[in-house]
Chain A
Amino acid sequence: MHLARVVGRLVATQQYEGLRGVPLQLIQPIDDDGADSGDVLVACAAISSGPGDFVQWIDGREAALACPESFVPVDAAIIGWVEQAIAHHQRLG
């Protein structure tokens, strides 16, 4: 599980059946100093979130389990909205 910032939204009408109605969002993973870390990727939002939000996400097969339908080809899902994250006694985000 990792931290990220939601940076955008993505729309896809033609998608795998079980994914209908699940929002897709672009997320920028961040490091423990709040700086960008790695490439932007697309994740399914299992909770309500939007651009600008600081979130927690999960990668791998487990990401599909956060979706309404769990047998879906999803490898990244937003699973928590972060209110506060503290690293090295300093607040992130």
Chain B
Amino acid sequence: MTSPVIVGVVVGYLLVLLLIGLWGNRDSHDLEGYYVAGKKLPAWVIAFSSNATGESAWLLLGLTGMGYAIGVHAFWIIMGEVLGVACAWVFVARPFKEYTDRYRAITVPDYLTERFRDESSIFRWLSALIILSMVMAYTAAQLTASGKAFDSFLGTGYTAGVWIGLAIVLFYTTVGGFKAVAYSDFLQGVLMLGCLITLPIVGIVQAGGWDPMMDALRAQDPALLQPMGTYGLTVAGVLSAAGSVAIGLAFLGSPQLLTRFMAARDQKQIVNGGFWAVLCVIGFDVGAVFGGMAGRTLSPGLADPETILPEMSAAFFPDFFTGIFLVVVLAAIMSTVDSLLILASSSVVRDVVQKALGVDASERALSNLGKGVTVVIGAVGLVVALLEVRMIFDFVLFAWSGIACAFTPVVLLSLFWKGTTKAGAVAGMVVGFATTVIWVRAFKADFYDLYEMIPGFFAGLLACWLVSLFTQADSEAVAELESIRETVGPTF
């Protein structure tokens, strides 16, 4: 029988989210308010919001599951994520913020269109296609996690769990826009950090202490304590490690993360926010991996490693904290789904309807359209989630890399290389995205299961660079890049 305490904690949390949605509503009546919170966010909000968006249920269920399944080999993921977050804030954030402020851009396609002086709206159409397809997959994976979480913790059944998760996030995202998204992400990020600091500590104590835990892991499988895992120092092992590190590449250019930089109040927030973002991701990832490792000693025979967090919370915490853990899992899911929905909605309304098609409508009408589109996209994600139950970790990584490989190479080159051309950028987006999809469908299983981010990112980078070499950069754009560099100054 489900504990009323757990239900009470969950209901209380969901009510807070609804209130945040209502609070955000007053600033969501034009496009800049709905999609980037009027560019008024402070450092601490963008730091936690960025990390909470980037991590999702993958962190709470997937990465703890990885810690459970492969132990120390999961440290390579920590390396990739911490380095990725740090490099994004240090190298990408300030020039990107400067560019998007000059352009009054509120989406990444806005930025690409202005950066390359595009009159044909090709970046808008291409971005919409990529974003919509990947957001559907990503959202479906998160809703799958919602179904699993509700079922594991409360026994609601998978379908009901999917419905409840979507209903709540759709309400506060539709009503409150990006302001509600960012502040709820902040709350969710704090909860996630608290959980991921507490979980491994309690797990290690329950396992009898650090040394007994390590001894138990070694007894189960010595590879759990080896950096190269069961692969050893082989080609497969090196590629597995490289694939794990490559997860961090997405932080450098994924549009759902870059939006936070656009929404910062000013450059100073970016300088201050980076430190907190790095500390936050360290806490997230180290906590998740060690939590999973502790769980391996306590519940060694789990059929699905991705249920280790609910298993541990039910076994070792009183009902109130079990409720908190369910809330944290939901927080992780919602903090990603809300950002994805806003991203996809902005792609349709701002990039396609307002800019590419040139529909002449008031800001209020467009923001209302944005809200409607948000609901439709969420509904499609729901249908996919209800039709197929996939392993969260793999599906999320595919969608994560699809978006990242389309945008990251092009964003990086556009910010740092004056030779980047419009044709090169288009080629980079198409090749990066296509390589990711083709690799997963046709090659991955036969090539050491190499994570698709690696071939996708480098193919996109190479395509953008090569095509740019044979085409002409706009002279005004080149001068503008130099002006941006002068304004932002050297990195170090």
A binds B: no
Chain B residues in the interface with A (C-beta under 8 A): none
Chain A residues in the interface with B (C-beta under 8 A): none
